[in-house]
Structure 1
Amino acid sequence: MGKEGAVMVLAAVGGQSSYDAFWWLCLVIVVCLFIAAIWLIYRLGKLPGEIAQGRGHPQVAAITVCGWLGLLLPPLWPIALIWAFLIPAGRELMPPPDLAGLQEALKTTSARIADIERQLAKGGMP
């Protein structure tokens, strides 16, 4: 057996080839793409419901269900997305749940800014 034959036997016994690292790299890429596709489907399914809830839509539950069903029946998903942005006839969007807290924080901040402006007008430090 020559030198080349011995090298080939050792490579076959060790199970190593020049494509093993490439194969593992491809496997990692495919698994990552699979996980990214599952995550994207999940995000798309819940997107109409999140938009409707963020806008205070009175039919949040129905829009959420329509968004998830839109993954099985694709024409429903754009309908759910458009529905999340529409205001039902004769109704207004509900205010965000913490609107009173935001208004109070705005009043407090405005008062502090006015106080700082008065002190600066007098030439003193705030």
Structure 2
Amino acid sequence: MLEYFALFLVFFVFLVVFYGIIVIHDIPYEIAVHRNHPQQDAIHVAGWISLFTLGAIWPFLWIWATLNRDAIHGKDLSSNKEIDALTTQVDSLKVEFNELKQQLNKED
């Protein structure tokens, strides 16, 4: 009975370590997704490749994932909330300008 428990424990530890290695090598990709990095797919592929190089390139992937200059400087160009708000404001100003122009033309 103790042999079966030891065998189960060996397999369990093997699976946890195997899964842990995969999760750890996926950290740069998760950083890239969180920071909305433009090259996140390439970082993900390189993370899988780093599994086969025994993690030799993994530290460089971490650095690459954090080098999104837009996220570093607080300019997230992919979120268009500010752009959409400005576009809406410009459109409303255009409508107001056209109404004022029509009123001036009617007075003449």
With structure 1 as the length reference, what TM-score do the two structures score? 0.52
Q: Which amino acid aligns with 1:41?
A: I
Unaligned runs of 5+ in 2: 82-108
Counterparts of 2:40 and 2:25, CA distance in 1: 14
Identical-pair percentage: 31
1:108 corresponds in structure 2 to none
1:29-68 per-residue CA deviation (whole Å, 9 max, x = no partner) reads: 1011111012112212322111101111111111111111
Q: Which of 1 and 2 has higher RCO (CA within 8 Å, sep 6+)?
A: 2
1:85 corresponds in structure 2 to 66
Computing the radius of gyration over CA atoms, which structure comes out larger, 1 or 2? 1
2:14 corresponds in structure 1 to 34
By percentage of residues, which structure has more helix?
2
1:122 corresponds in structure 2 to none
With structure 2 as the length reference, what TM-score do the two structures score? 0.60
Cα RMSD (Å) of the superposition?
A: 2.3
Unaligned runs of 5+ in 1: 1-20, 101-126
Runs of 4 or more consecutive aligned structure 1 residues displaced over 2 Å after TM superposition? 93-100
Q: Secondary structure at the match of 1:68?
A: helix
